[in-house]
Chains A and B, each alone.
Chain A
């Protein structure tokens, strides 16, 4: 790891939809160059947290400092500048379906830089080689398999040589072999380019392979944060339940369930 200076600092973050609070006063720090995994079950608020971090959702209160600058208080133009140094790989890859894979990767370069078309071509090829999709430039996203689309999405996220890359459920919906390939790719990106990676997932197998720090969310609150070993030792009941993959305990058994259905005591 070596470098331990913070790159993202979240202070007292509160976010929600309408009256419903989804993230409840979160505080944490992401160190430069680490793979930071946000782990949690469905409805734990992990996707909302990711959307806040990339600026797709405005928090109700609190600050998100990226490289010491408050992302939430920036003007639109400053946000765009910052976004050029961030990449995001979406759950469903979110490639633009009307243009080819190569054009998808080239899009941020075309819009944000004044590079020559030939340079953009070469850079696109390099990025696609990086995710082992060399030669697929002219394919439409619909002509690729799920795993290939996901890797193409990562190539697009890498197009502008970002400092931080966000992955939303990178291995969701993929078979174990392909998922392991994507995990290895996330590790490779971090090791080769010193990228800070923030990964939202609920797959324990991925966490074991890639996580430097794990932040576990439940009902919008952080229940545990630290390395995986620290989490395993923490003894928090929810963490234990999640790691051991146990279902919620049934409350009251059959008779109370029958009562809840019929309304008769």
Chain B
């Protein structure tokens, strides 16, 4: 009996905690949208300089690692699909497989996961450290809204950076697949290019970019939310940073699944 009560209590408490977290995330969303959309219209300004700096950090500086990983994933995709396709003498369809899975799935996903690791964690660590050091309080006392000062520019930067990096990642991944097919598998270059062009439609690009846009939103919001949640000192910062990465990747997979199912039926 006692076990049942304890179990019910635990379920109830975690439900309440989850609801409270949802409420806080919603407040954060509303405030961010206010400072991004409504406030600039009312002439309260947006910190564009800070947004550009964040864009360079999230976008431009992510390019080397994202490019490298996506190239390798392209190579892997080509070699793995050749393993099956070769048996049917259908190696030319490696091109189709690589192109479609790169644009629709792998490039947006790999980019999002890498940017989570590079930047989502950094956002959490930065905001959490600022909170622990009373820097967030200092901003408030100075009459500066932390959402306007810290969150809105990062959010805007992330919203632009993730799709931009994703497009480049798509090209690099397809190129990786191309190179592997030509050099290792021995597909003719002209056939590969021809098949790639035939396989791809605008819809693939749209699906990939839609996903990446929502991935960007998730990375930034989780990063910021976890940062503001910090309690205690350095230990709290570490905990929230880890949990930010885990939550982000989990959310990215869920979003990916939702959109994949959605576009499957559309």
Give chain A's interface residues, CB within 8 Å of chain B: 54-56, 79-81, 83-84, 86-88, 90-92, 94-98, 107-108, 111-112, 156, 166
What is the CA–CA distance of A245 and B20 in the complex, to the nearest angstrom? 44
- B135, A96: Cβ atoms under 8 Å? yes
Q: What's the minimum C-beta distance from A262 to chain B, rounded to whole angstroms?
A: 28
What is the CA–CA distance of A156 and B142 in the complex, to the nearest angstrom? 9
Q: What's the minimum C-beta distance from B126 to chain A, rounded to whole angstroms?
A: 8
- B144, A111: Cβ atoms under 8 Å? yes
- B138, A94: Cβ atoms under 8 Å? yes
The number of chain B residues touching the other chain, given as a range, is: 10 to 19
What is the CA–CA distance of A54 and B142 in the complex, to the nearest angstrom? 10
- B142, A83: Cβ atoms under 8 Å? yes
Q: Tell me which of A54, A92, A97 contacts B141 (CB under 8 A).
A: A54
Q: Tell me which of A56, A83, A90, A92 contacts B143 (CB under 8 A).
A: A83
- A108, B144: Cβ atoms under 8 Å? yes
- B133, A56: Cβ atoms under 8 Å? no
Q: Contacts A92-B133, A97-B133 given: A86-B138 contact, CB under 8 Å? A: no
Q: What's the minimum C-beta distance from B227 to chain A, rounded to whole angstroms?
A: 14
Q: Tell me which of A55, A86, A107 contacts B144 (CB under 8 A).
A: A107
- Nearest-neighbor residue (CB-CB) of B132 within chain A: A92
**A residues in contact with B137, CB < 8 Å:** 56, 90, 94
- B144, A56: Cβ atoms under 8 Å? no
- Nearest-neighbor residue (CB-CB) of A84 within chain B: B143
What is the CA–CA distance of A84 and B139 in the complex, to the nearest angstrom? 12
- B133, A107: Cβ atoms under 8 Å? no
Would you mind naming 11 contact pairs between A and B with Cβ atoms under 8 Å apart?
A: A55-B140, A90-B134, A90-B137, A92-B133, A94-B135, A96-B138, A97-B129, A97-B135, A107-B142, A111-B143, A111-B144
**A residues in contact with B135, CB < 8 Å:** 94-97
- A92, B142: Cβ atoms under 8 Å? no
- B143, A108: Cβ atoms under 8 Å? yes
- Nearest-neighbor residue (CB-CB) of B144 within chain A: A111
- A80, B141: Cβ atoms under 8 Å? no
Q: What's the minimum C-beta distance from B228 to chain A, rounded to whole angstroms?
A: 14
**A residues in contact with B143, CB < 8 Å:** 79-81, 83-84, 108, 111-112
Q: Contacts A94-B133, A94-B134, A97-B133 given: A88-B144 contact, CB under 8 Å? A: no
What is the CA–CA distance of A56 and B135 in the complex, to the nearest angstrom? 12
